[in-house]
Structure 1
């Protein structure tokens, strides 16, 4: 309880949302985003293109959803909006690119859908740029 008082009296839902934002974003960045960015030439050669946009556009969209959006989610900036490209990319991946995967094979993707879906529904919580901004606006009104 003392730790919660040190954090400004915030309840555990805010801490839980902070934890979900930071860990979900870190996993998506580390496992998908950064490897694609570091090896983008190789990715262009073998990236799946289920929507027929072309490999360049598909890779650019994937990099946006797997690098820019997780950084926004981690900061809690435009959080709900930043979750949407991630959820779209994961949905396309799980339903169109890997429809033959068993639940066990796709468990990482489904868990990321759960994490980012929860954040999109619940919002970023108090410990976020969005939370700070809404408290400031409410105070100024």
Structure 2
């Protein structure tokens, strides 16, 4: 009965799990967030939050770099830890500074927090053997 509850009959593969995590976080970040910001740069730049004394267009450019370029690197598993670190920093800024650490309400940062947790995990683990880094 315990084997059934533990699902021990399924093969275990940490590396395959890391591949799924990289793709499950990287593709939506790249396509839904990074690409949207890239396409709408001129309309978003004046409204984007200027952070750390940087002009809003520079802050937006850094977010686009992380969300578009680093997400692509993450999916490939190329420079995985570098990409994951950039994405984790971007999601930290989004969660703590933009969403004020809120998990509920109209300015909920729950999604930014979930992305942050996943990117922090990939920063710590690396891409696994099913990555360009692993080859």
TM class by smaller structure: 0.7 to 0.9
The answer (yes or no) to whether the contact 1:50–1:97 under 8 Å persists in 2 is no
Instruction: Give TM-score scaled by structure 2 length.
Output: 0.84
Change (3 A) 1:120 1:100: closer
Change (3 A) 1:12 1:103: farther
Q: Which runs of 4+ in 1 moved over 3 A?
A: none
What secondary structure is seen at the aligned counterpart in 1 of 2:133? helix
Change (3 A) 1:74 1:100: closer
* Paired position in structure 2 for 1:113: 116
What secondary structure is seen at the aligned counterpart in 1 of 2:50? coil
- Any residues of structure 2 matched to 1:49-128 within 5 Å, and which? 49-99=50-100, 101-103=102-104, 105-128=108-131
Q: CA deviation at 1:30?
A: 2.2
Q: CA deviation at 1:12?
A: 1.4
Separation in structure 2 between the aligned mates of residue 100 and residue 13 of structure 1, nearest angstrom: 31
Query: What runs of 5+ residues in structure 1 fail to find an aligned partner?
Result: 1-9, 133-141
- State the Cα RMSD in Å: 1.6
Higher helix proportion:
1
Q: CA deviation at 1:102?
A: 3.0
What secondary structure is seen at the aligned counterpart in 2 of 1:69? helix
Instruction: Give TM-score scaled by structure 1 length.
Output: 0.81
